[in-house]
Amino acid sequence: MTIGAILRLAYYFFKRLIVRALVRSDGVARFQANYGVERLLPLSPTHRASLAKFSGCLACGLCDATFTEYERASRADFRGPSDLPLSYSRSLPEYDALDPYLAQIRRGDLAALEAVCPAGIPFRALVASVQEHASSMPRGERLAPALPRPKSGRFDPG
């Protein structure tokens, strides 16, 4: 590393420290400005505190075998309870699309699912957290296409 590189590194390091000390920044507002357009909204403190518990699914299938309300559930919207911890709850921008699924899983006994789950997934808290987050999302807004459509079948980068 050259002397010039070290001096540049030191300059930007101390500049950053000074800016951080003098300029107040609202992390949540910056997060929303950066990620709101992608529908990534901040989690509630309760949801955030439970993230580790929500994500420990082992894919054993015991909850799917324990769920007793398949006959009353719309199978088009619901394959089984394990879909929630394994997959659906991992895509924050799509939480508001989970209303039909949540309506079906609520037909079952969530406490019974918790009792058989070897990973201790708290189904009642998970369903409530997903529902709460979904209700805080702006409705009817979807991501704009990330790339412009090519005019003539070929992608035009610029």
In the complex, the smallest distance separating the C-beta of residue 114 from ligand SF4, rounded to whole angstroms, is 9
Closest distance to ligand SF4 from the beta carbon of 105 (Å)? 11
- Contacting ligand SF4 (CB under 6 A), which of 118, 124, 135, 155? 118
45-54 and 123-135 helices, crossing angle to 10°: 140
Residue 59 within binding range of ligand SF4, rule CB under 6 A: yes
| CA–CA separation, 123 and 46 (whole Å) | 14
Q: What is the Cα gyration radius of the chain?
A: 22
Q: Which two structure tokens, joined as six digits, stand for 79?
A: 């394959």
Is residue 110 at the binding interface for ligand SF4, with CB under 6 A as the rule?
Answer: no
CB of 57 to ligand SF4, least distance (A): 3
Angstrom distance (rounded) from CA 75 to CA 143 = 28
Q: Which stretch binds ligand SF4 (CB under 6 A): 5-13, 37-45, 57-65, 130-138?
A: 57-65
